[in-house]
Amino acid sequence: MVENKLTAIGRITKKAVIGALKGTSEKAQAIVETTADLVKVTIEGVGDFTVAIEKRVGEIVSGAIEAAPEAGGDLFITIKYTVYGIVKAGSDVGVDVAKIAVAATEGAIKVAGKAGADIGGATKEAVTGAIEAGDDIGTDASKAVRDALATSIKGAKDVIKPPK
């Protein structure tokens, strides 16, 4: 994708993820923290968190995924941990985790497809990131995320395993 197609939030996300990836060897944690912080900042002061975050998720995902090749990062690791960070941050601010998991997963798959990445691999990593976030949030979130992904994301049922 071309940088000028990114929104302001997408450009900020891209720059932040590049900086985070270049500044540490803990790439997964850097992606999670950067995307989570951007989710929280994006929705501060907004009345309806779920609507605001669903609208911005695609922008955050686009910026993070575009950052991966520039920072020497793995695209699929970036997808997984971007989705994880978005779902976890959404939970932290009271967003419906099932809706945010679907929005983040759909956004990641769409952006990966536009970037020419393997859709099956992108789906697997996005779904895995959302599920791991749901599991880390708690039992109810874990079930809600699994159920939402299974009914909303093509190919998710092949990836979803019962919680540990």
| Assigned domain for 159 exists | no
Q: Assess if residue 123 is contained within a domain.
A: yes
Tell me whether residue 52 is in a domain. Answer: yes
Does residue 76 form part of some domain?
yes
Report the predicted TM-score, pTM, of the whole model to 2 decimal places: 0.79
Q: Is residue 134 part of a domain?
A: yes
Domain count along the chain = 1
The range of the structural domain enclosing residue 64 comes to 3-154
Tens digit of each residue's pLDDT (9 = 90 or more) over 57-96 = 777 788 777 777 777 778 898 899 889 988 988 888 788 8
| Mean pLDDT computed over 113-134 | 93
Tell me whether residue 160 is in a domain: no
Is residue 164 included in any domain, yes or no?
Answer: no
**Cβ count near 158 (within 10 Å):** 10
Residue 81, CB half-sphere, CA atoms under 13 Å: how many?
Answer: 22
Token duo for residue 67: 């950052």
